Each structure stands twice: as structure tokens, then as C-alpha cells.
Structure 1
Amino acid sequence: MSTTAVIPDELSARRLLSRGQAVTGTLVLALLVGALTLHVFTGWGPGPIWYGQAAVAIVTAIYVAVIAFKLAMVFGAWGSPVLRFEPSDIDTIPREMLPLYTVLVPLHREAEVLPFLLKRLSQMDYPPEKLQILLLIEEDDDATRGALATIDLLPQFEVVIIPHSNPKTKPKACNVGLEKARGEFCVIYDAEDRPDPDQLRKSVLAFRLLADRVVCVQAELQYWNPWTNWLTQCFAAEYATNFSLSLRGLDRHRLAIPLGGTSNHFRTDALRALGGWDAYNVTEDADLGIRIARRGWDVRMMVSVTEEEANSHLGNWVRQRSRWIKGYIQTWLVHTRHPVKLWRELGTRRFIAFHLTLGFSTFTTLVNPFFWVMTLIYVFTGTQYIEALFPAVVLYLGVLTMILGNFLMMYCLMTGCMERGLHRAVRAMLTVPLYWGLMSVAAYKAFFQLLRPSRRHYWELTEHGLVDHASAHEEETAERPATAPLPALTD
């Protein structure tokens, strides 16, 4: 068994900023303050209005670029050669020829859903003697350990106790599990996951058919309780658009794919060569997808679904979303420490796509409230207070972006709903700007947590088991998602 490499410090989120980033940021801020001060006392150089106009113009250009990129990925999804296997393909590799497969299951305070999880994993269509299912449990998680003590585990299950140490994060637990992994391939499943029973066999077939440079195959995630309330409808539509459209678009153009939190299948040796997951990054999946691309390796999308529980409680949703956004900012900052090196490793197309996928998209979520406030000022007071910030070209482009861009983003979500058969959720997308407002609330929570060293690597736990499985199943059967036909496997 090969040992896991160590992630270089420059690729770890242990520090928020590198020395170069801190110096550059301080220098830019000092120059800006100095220029404004000089203008105030001498009248030399551009004044505050000019800088305000420049900021508005730059942000407007970023909005246009992000929206155009997202549209290109969504509408390019139908030409993506995603991995799709028919039931008859599964038997291509006889059961006796299947390799040992390791399943990593990080658990923390999951006593309530543990029985359902064990039942689902024990029903996977894979030879039990060739399965190594590692239940990764924190040392101080007495509730989960107590619940586990009352259950007779099947031979394929192993309990791994994660020693108490900081940071207490999912990637740290997965790294401990990776050290004990014996499988040729490995995958992560969360406590509430319901993967397709044949997903492991599809993954093995994909890896056998694909080139060695493909080190990860990402299955699609969707929610099994989209009809719980308005929040879960928006969340399900977002996931449908992301996994059934946007990520397929990234796959089609061979751009870096920020992985989903679960159901990403790896070649174990390649994962060890990458150093596993960054224990300090709270979206370790997205970070790992970028590191794979920087190594010159590939990720491919596979048509196999893992169902998860959509957050139906607002507070729980904000905690989860703020952690995701915090991790996106961490990932963007980590990989822009040496931008020229990043550009050389990714290439121009992947370099631009990386910024549009993680950095600029997150930035627009943070600046949205400022533009909403300016829009309200315009509605109630006219142009007298904001006219100076919007030269004609910027004003027209901004209005076009606000009206047409928002409509197109709603249309993309509606398309995602139709792709996944979530027809009843289509009309809810007319109110999705309210959902985007909640995302900005979560973004500012994430931003302020990053400013506090004690909260920078804090893993905000998502509570599972909020929705009863039986009632959700009844709602699901009333309108079961259907998957549209997809292109055949090509490479």
C-alpha cells in the first residue's frame, strides 16, 4: 500500500492569505487611499466619483462574464459525452473480476440516520467480500458510537475512530480513512446518501474504459425530498441545474470540475499521490477538483444518481450554504497565491473558467445587496443620488444584465427542473430571486467567519433526518424524476 503524499503548504487553506497576497492587498489599498487623499488636498488625479464609476463598471463586466459563462455551460450540456451505461453493460465485468472497493463514510452526530445508512450500504450491488466500508466516527461523538454499539455490523463494515484534534473537519476524517483504504478505487458517501445500488459497478466499468489520466468519476447528486417546502424546491432545482447541466458543460469542454461533496469515485493511488483532501478547507471537494486539473488529470461525469436530503429548515440551510461559500473563497484564495503558475498548469481556458466558476461567482453573491439597494434608491428617489455612478454605457449594460440576466438564470433553473422531471417546481423558480437573497445572507456569514481565525476552519454541521423518509417517498412517487436521454459513452 502506497503512502499518502503531503499537500504543500502553498496549496493548503491553513493560512487565509499568503504573504504575497497580503502584501499585494495592502499595497493596493494604500495606493487607493493615498490617491484619494492627494485628490482631496491638491485636486490632482481622479476623484471619488471616478473610482465609484470604475468599480461599478468592473462589477457590471464581471456580472456579464459570469452569466454568459453559466449560460454557455448549461446550454452546452446536451453535447457532453457523459458516461452512461445501460443495465446490460453492468455485467461486462464478471463479479469475480471486480476489484476491492473502499467506501469512506464520515459520520458526526448521525445516530438518527445510522440504521438507514447501514441498510442502504449493505444493499449495494457489489460482492460484500470485495467491499471495505469504513465508518469514520469522531472520538468524542458518543451518540453515534453508542448507536453503533447496538448494531451487529456485517463483515464489510469497519469502524475507524478519528482521534480528537483540530481541525475537526470532514476532510481530516477522510484522510484518516484513506490511510486505511485497501481498495483499488474509493468513494465518499455522506450519512443521508442513497446511491444507486449499481453505482460502484458503473464506476469500475468507467475506470476500465477510460484513460489513466481520468482519476475521478463524479456521479450526479439530487434530492429525494424536493416537495417538502419552497426552500427544498429551490435547492432541488439548483442541484438539478448544477449536476445535470452545468457540470456536464464543464465536462464537455474538459474544464476543471469542482467536485460534489459525495459520490466522487477515485483511483486510490492517484488520490494518495495528490495528498488526499485539505483538512483545512471546508469545501475540500471543490479544492480537490482544482488540484486534479492542475496535475494534468481529468474528472468525468457519470450518469448514476445519489439522492440526498435537501435542507428544509432555513437555519440549517444557511449553516450549510455559508460553509460552502466559505470553502469556495478559501479555494479561490489558495489557488490564486501564484496566479502565473496556476495559469501555466491549467492553461488559459481552464484558468478563466476557474475564476468564473469559483471566484467571480462568489463575488457577485457578495455584491448583490449593494446593487439591490441602489435599485431601491432609484425606484423611490429617481436618479439624483446614483446617476453619477452610472455612465450611459454602464447603465444600459447594467439594466440589461439585471433584467435579461435574471430571466435567463431563472430559465436555466427551470430547464434543470425539466431535465430532472421536477415539473411542479418550475413555477417556484419565478420567486427564486428571494432564494438568491438568502444566498447573500449566507455569503456574508461566510465572509465574517473567514475574518475570525477561530471560525475560519470551523465545520458547521448539517443536521440530517429532518424529513421523514416515508412521507417523502409518497410525495416522490406522485411525480418521480425522469432522466432525459443522454449521449453514449465516448472519450
Structure 2
Amino acid sequence: MRQGLAEQTRQSTALPVEIGFLARYGLPPAALRDAVMVADLTGVTADEALLKHGLVEEPVFYRALAAELRLPFLAAPRLSPGAPFPESILAGLAPLARGGGFVAAPQGEKLVRLLKDLRPPRALAITTPSSLRRSVLQAQGRLIAHRAALDLPHGAPGLSIYGGASVPQMATGFLFALIASFGIVVSPSKAVALFASLASPLFLCIVVLRLAASLLRNPLHPPLSPERADDASLPVYTVIVALYREKRVASRLVAALDRLDYPAAKLDIKLVLEADDRETMAALAGIRLPGNIEIIIAPPGHPRTKPRALNVALPLARGRFTVVYDAEDVPDREQLRMAVSAFARMPADVACLQARLTIDNTDDSWLTRLFTIEYAALFDVLNPGLAEIGSPIPLGGTSNHFRTTVLRSLCGWDAWNVTEDADLGIRLARFGYRVADLPSSTLEEAPSTTRAWLRQRTRWMKGFLQTGISHSRNLRSGLSQFGFWRFYAGMSLTAGGVLSALVYPFCTGLFVVLWLSDGPRSQLEEIWYAGSLTLFLAGLASIFIPACVALHRRGLWRLLPWVALLPLYYGLVSLAAWRGLWELGIAPFRWNKTSHGLARTSRSGAFRNTKPVRPRPYR
């Protein structure tokens, strides 16, 4: 008996102080030695290595800590209403509700200092980081919901769609609609000619940007870096995933995050769920989650949007960099390492890296084939080209890697904008920051039915309109911050893109009718017709050329016959644009949820619901 106690004491003194005490509470010495080895290799404290690698469960660790310090352990602490957010969670210390005192969930250096203190404060209790986080979120739920929804509208009212269109914008829109309807009744041909003349600068900008981006060389796979960075030099990286009714893909998401080639102890992964999403909670409860994954329950609030959920998690981000993924994403294993390397090479004004999204369930339907071509053109050709040109970039909804400090300085995402990604990309450009291309792929699942596709695209079109309204509300301010050319490009890529989709079928039909008809024309009419035909043909070229370039880069030449259907596909985009315009009037903040986990095919084989295999922790 005495020999056993002596052996445990000898082991505990040979281990770092932050985990050495665990040897006296029956934890396997092998697990503790593994934690020390991992800590040495990754440059973290041994307790972080032990917990984030799942070698011991949180309750076991912190109950043993409480016993070692002879302090009470609270499984569900009741906190004071004044517990500050996010400071209490980040510091691991919060005031208790009754009787005074504090509850702590110490980690790293704070844990070391507490264990070295021979007489820890008596008015202190111990809990787990997860329990402390849940308690703070519960105690400050109303404040957190308010800040997640309104930090941007209150901090920078001119940059959020929360207030809707300004009076001058509404008056201009009403006057334009009145003149257009009157002109169409009185003289349709002249009205169309006037509209085309006024809108052609926006359309021309879109065409020029698309064609120019197609001429730039942006390979799918970059040159390999000369050497792999050692784990100890890598910074902490935050990963945020907003989930809602995603039980079908929960296990695949956890497996995809678990396979990332990045030190587990330096991954700060946050899954954000809505309070009423019991199905996803149940699905995650059935999975053995890695120790570096936190589940955050967003307090109930309005609006019920993805950006509001992201704003709940952002104040808790511990990483130097933050990436946003979607529930169905399967990113390249080395994407985070590539992002760290790219940020290190680039100047400080590069605040975001946009990885390349690619559709994996290509063969599900004709719609997913066309969606694959569209995404390949957008993320493998257009966005990399726009980044090289220096144009603002409406970000994709996932695989955006940010400098965390910059993201916080911009108040995160606009909770009221249903394409928060596009808005944030334009807002970054407005404040002088740049978005760069990250040539690393993230697999995505495309909706395979027309109904699901139309709901998703309607939200996108509505969000592009919201973004255009937000950033053109104050023209003087917008022009001074963007500069003329960047403002012109930003408006063309957002509101201009929706406008071109709205008129696409009408312009196409009109041009066909006009150019098939014969009759005398004046010299001015001939010039107008020639200019219109040139713009129309250039527009078609801007559809086909990026698509073909993208198929070449992706090696997807088998989809080439489907490129011929893109003009019909953009007819569906036009329908979505009209629906988006209607929704902007009747339900501006409605979030049309896209369901995932329905894919029937997978080009890569990655779209399978597999559970991560991890060593069982000490319980």
C-alpha cells in the first residue's frame, strides 16, 4: 500500500504541475506521459494536450482538481446576473449567484498558478469549462442575443440592412418604377432602349470582370511550400460552424473536422446550435466528440439567421485566425496550414482568404451538374481573378479564413443580411482590406431538386439586393471609402448581378425579336443596335468562357456538353431573382434553410456519414 502511494507520488512529481496531481487519482500514467509528449511537440501546456486530445474527460479532470485543491466541485454552477460575457468564459472565472465567491475552470498558466498556490481562496469552487460556458450563456442569454443581432446596426447603422432602404433610395426606386411602367405603355421600344442605356454600365462591368478574370492564370494546386511548419510554431485556429436541423450530416461533419491536419490542442472548434434544435443536439450527443469541439447553444432571439449564430460564437474565438464552415463541408486536410502560411506571406491588409468551393454530388441530377459548372467558374476562375485584379469580392458562405482581430473590429457579420458572406466581403473592401484566394478546396453538397435550389437561390438574390442597398445608402460615404472603381465593381457584382438576372429573359427575347425583324432604321438606331448586340454577345461569352476555363482547371471535361444549357440555367436564376425581389418586400429577413445530407452520389467518396474513430478517454 505504502509502496503504491510512493510510486504515485514519484510519478506526479516527474510530471508537469498542471497534470502531475492526476497520478494520485488513478489516471493511467501512459495517458499522462502521452499528454506531456504532445505538449512538447505542439507548444501547449500539458492539460490542454490531455483534454483536447481526448485522453481524459473534462469532469474527471476537474473533479480531481477540486479534490486536489480541497475545493467544492459544481457540475452546474448558478452564476450572478452580472457575470460578464465573454470575459468570464475566456478567463475561466465567474461570480456565483448566492453567497458570493467565484467558480473557476482554470486552464494553462492559470491552472499552474492555482496549483502552486499553497492556500487557494476558500470562496472558490471548481467546474468544467463546458459547464462554465453553459452557465454564462444561460445567465446572459438576453444580452448575448441582443449583441449578436444589433452590434453592427447600433455600432455602424449605415452598414447594416437592419433599417432597410433609406428614404432617398425608396423614392428613387418608386420614381424609376413609375417612369418605366409609363414608358412601357406609351412607347415600349424607347423605354427599353432607355433602360438598357442606363443599366449597360453595370452589365458592362460584370462582363469585363468575368472575362478579365478568365484570362488570369490561377492554378488549382499551388506550388508546394518548401517545408512543413512544425506544430509548435502554429497559432491557435478557431473554427466556427453554425448548425440548424443538420442531424443527417452531424457525424460526417465531426469526421471532417477531426481529419484536419492541424494540432488538435491548437484547434478551437465551436459548433453553434439553436436552442430549439433538439434533433441536431441528439445527433451530436450520440457521437464521441473530440476534446477540442465545443457546443454553443445560441440564446433565442431574432432574426433566426446563420450570421446571428456566428456572432454568438465570435466573441469566444481564441484563435489568431477564424474560419467558417458549413454543416456539409469537407475541407482539404491541409487547408488550415495553407491558410496560416498564406497569411504569413501576405501584407496585413489581406484580412480574409477565400478557399475554393467545389460541388461533390455532381451526378445527383442535371441541376447539380450545372451547379458544379457554376461553382467551378465562380471559385476557380472568377474569385481568384477578382482578387488578383483588386476588386471587392462577395465572399462565399463557407471556407472564409479571417484575421480574428479584423473580423471583430468590423462587428462580425450583419445578422439581418441573408447573404452575410457577400456583405462582409464588400464591407472588408469598404474599410481598405483585401480578400485573397486560397487554392485549397472544400467539398460541398448542392441541392438536387428544383424546389430546394430555388429556395436557396432566392435567399442569395435577396441578400445581394440587401448588400447593394446597405452599401449605396450613403453614396458620398461609400465613394470616399471604396473609391470610384471599387464602388462600381462592388455594386455591379451584388445589386448589378441581381438586376442582370431580373432582365435576362426579357433582354434575350427582345434581342432575338429585334435582330430577326427587318425594317428601316436611323443611324442612331443602328448604333444602338450594334452596341446592344456587342454587349449581348459579350455577355454570352462571359458565361461560357469562365465555365470552360474552370472545367479545364478541375479536369471535368465530361461536363462540357452541359455548358450549352447554361443560358437555360440562368433563366432559373432569373426566376430566383424575381422571387428574391418579392421576398425583399414581404419577408426581408426570412432565412430559406437548405437541407443537407441528401446527396446520392459523391465524386470524391467523402460524402459518407462516417463517425470519427478516437481513443476512448479515461472516465
TM bucket, shorter chain: 0.7 to 0.9
Residue number among 322, 326, 332 corresponding to 2:458 in the alignment: 322
For 1:447 and 1:108, how far apart are their aligned partners in 2?
25
For 2:428 and 2:458, how far apart are their aligned partners in 1?
25
**CA apart distance, 1:328:** 0.6
Count residues with an aligned counterpart. 458
Seen in structure 2, the aligned counterparts of structure 1 residues 34 and 104 have a Cα distance that, compared at 3 Å, is: closer
Report the AA paired with residue 567 of structure 2. P
- Secondary structure at the aligned position of 2:588 is classed as coil
**CA apart distance, 1:343:** 1.3
- State which structure, 1 or 2, has the greater radius of gyration over its C-alpha atoms: 2
Matched, 1:53 2:187: no
Seen in structure 2, the aligned counterparts of structure 1 residues 128 and 48 have a Cα distance that, compared at 3 Å, is: closer
1:47-446 to structure 2, matched below 5 A, reads 50-60=190-200, 62-75=202-215, 77-78=216-217, 84=222, 86=224, 88-89=226-227, 91=228, 93-375=229-511, 382=517, 391-446=525-580
**CA apart distance, 1:23:** 3.7
For 1:300 and 1:374, how far apart are their aligned partners in 2?
39
Report the AA paired with residue 557 of structure 2. H
359-368 or 277-286: which moved more?
359-368
Identity of counterpart residues, as a percentage? 36
For 1:237 and 1:374, how far apart are their aligned partners in 2?
27
211-220 or 120-129: which moved more?
211-220
**CA apart distance, 1:333:** 0.8
Give a deviation string over 1:196-230, Cα, whole Å, max 9, x none: 11111111122222222221111111111223222
**CA apart distance, 1:81:** 10
For 2:515 and 2:531, how far apart are their aligned partners in 1?
18
For 1:51 and 1:33, how far apart are their aligned partners in 2?
7
Aligned to 1:464: 596
- Secondary structure at the aligned position of 1:305 is classed as strand
- Secondary structure at the aligned position of 1:20 is classed as helix
Report the AA paired with residue 334 of structure 1. S
**CA apart distance, 1:323:** 0.8
**CA apart distance, 1:348:** 2.4
Report the AA paired with residue 227 of structure 1. D
Answer whether contact 1:108 1:144 (CA < 8 A) is retained: yes
For 2:353 and 2:443, how far apart are their aligned partners in 1?
17
Report the AA paired with residue 497 of structure 2. S
For 1:335 and 1:18, how far apart are their aligned partners in 2?
11
**CA apart distance, 1:364:** 0.8
295-304 or 186-195: which moved more?
295-304
- Secondary structure at the aligned position of 2:393 is classed as coil
**CA apart distance, 1:60:** 4.6
RMSD: 3.0
Aligned to 2:165: 17
For 2:364 and 2:294, how far apart are their aligned partners in 1?
34
Q: Which runs of 5+ in 2 are unaligned?
A: 1-85, 88-146, 608-619
Seen in structure 2, the aligned counterparts of structure 1 residues 275 and 408 have a Cα distance that, compared at 3 Å, is: closer
Seen in structure 2, the aligned counterparts of structure 1 residues 243 and 19 have a Cα distance that, compared at 3 Å, is: same
Seen in structure 2, the aligned counterparts of structure 1 residues 368 and 27 have a Cα distance that, compared at 3 Å, is: closer
For 1:245 and 1:472, how far apart are their aligned partners in 2?
21
For 1:324 and 1:230, how far apart are their aligned partners in 2?
21
For 2:163 and 2:232, how far apart are their aligned partners in 1?
47
Answer whether contact 1:82 1:301 (CA < 8 A) is retained: no
Report the AA paired with residue 163 of structure 2. R
Answer whether contact 1:82 1:248 (CA < 8 A) is retained: no
- Secondary structure at the aligned position of 1:212 is classed as coil
Answer whether contact 1:413 1:429 (CA < 8 A) is retained: yes
Of structures 1 and 2, the one with the larger relative CO (CA 8 A, separation 6+) is 1
**CA apart distance, 1:439:** 0.4
Report the AA paired with residue 114 of structure 1. A
- Secondary structure at the aligned position of 1:300 is classed as strand
Report the AA paired with residue 309 of structure 1. E
- Secondary structure at the aligned position of 1:391 is classed as helix
For 1:280 and 1:61, how far apart are their aligned partners in 2?
29
**CA apart distance, 1:178:** 0.4
- Secondary structure at the aligned position of 2:455 is classed as helix
Answer whether contact 1:85 1:202 (CA < 8 A) is retained: no
Answer whether contact 1:328 1:359 (CA < 8 A) is retained: yes
Seen in structure 2, the aligned counterparts of structure 1 residues 252 and 379 have a Cα distance that, compared at 3 Å, is: closer
Answer whether contact 1:53 1:391 (CA < 8 A) is retained: no
Seen in structure 2, the aligned counterparts of structure 1 residues 434 and 196 have a Cα distance that, compared at 3 Å, is: same
Report the AA paired with residue 217 of structure 1. L
- Secondary structure at the aligned position of 1:182 is classed as coil
172-181 or 344-353: which moved more?
344-353
- Secondary structure at the aligned position of 2:442 is classed as strand
Answer whether contact 2:361 2:600 (CA < 8 A) is retained: no
Seen in structure 2, the aligned counterparts of structure 1 residues 28 and 442 have a Cα distance that, compared at 3 Å, is: closer
**CA apart distance, 1:249:** 1.4
Give a deviation string over 1:304-328, Cα, whole Å, max 9, x none: 1111112211111111111111111
Give a deviation string over 1:21-61, Cα, whole Å, max 9, x none: 2244446667x49998xxx9xxxxxx776444322333455
Give a deviation string over 1:394-431, Cα, whole Å, max 9, x none: 22222333345314521321111111111111121012
Normalised to the residue count of structure 2, the TM-score between the two structures is: 0.69
Report the AA paired with residue 197 of structure 2. A
Answer whether contact 1:60 1:397 (CA < 8 A) is retained: no
For 1:167 and 1:20, how far apart are their aligned partners in 2?
26
Q: Which runs of 5+ in 1 are unaligned?
A: 41-46, 477-491
- Secondary structure at the aligned position of 2:546 is classed as helix
Report the AA paired with residue 160 of structure 2. S
